[in-house]
Structure formats: structure tokens, C-alpha cells
Amino acid sequence: MARAVVYQNHTLGVYHPETNSIDVLHSSVLKGAPINDYLPEPKLGDWGKMRYATKEDFEDFRVRFHPSYLED
């Protein structure tokens, strides 16, 4: 099931474990996101670089929040 994550503290997205991909909702170059908007596929051991997003992350990234983003 897809769930919102923060990748390397610079990108808010929705992680899809079945395809091992992230749909980017918003990224911040000021926080270290790549300038070219290319986000490499997360590798199996990348959970150290990802964490589940919180409602506060949506506020920080200025993305409209919906509770379904936080459901497993």
C-alpha cells in the first residue's frame, strides 16, 4: 500500500513498495533536492534515508494534507 514519505529530508512523496518508486509531491532544492527533479529509485536499504511523513511535513512542504496519505 502506498504511503507518504520524506526522502532524505528534501522530498515529500508517496512511496509505492510494489514498484519501489516514489511519486514526488514536492521537493526543496534549499533542503538538498536535486535541481533537475530526478529522484533515483530508492534501493532496498534506503529506508535509512526515508521516513514516514507526518501532517507537519505537509505543512513544511506546503502541500495540501489528506488523512489517506498516512494510512497503511
Residue 53: the pLDDT is 95
Residue 46: the pLDDT is 60
Short-list 42, 53, 41, 64, CA closest to 3:
53
Residue 16: pLDDT above 70?
A: yes
Give 17-36 pLDDT, tens digit per residue: 888 778 889 988 888 777 76
Across 47-61, average pLDDT = 89
Residue 48: the pLDDT is 65
- C-beta separation of 63 from 12 below 8 A: yes
Residue 42: the pLDDT is 56
Across 1-23, average pLDDT = 86
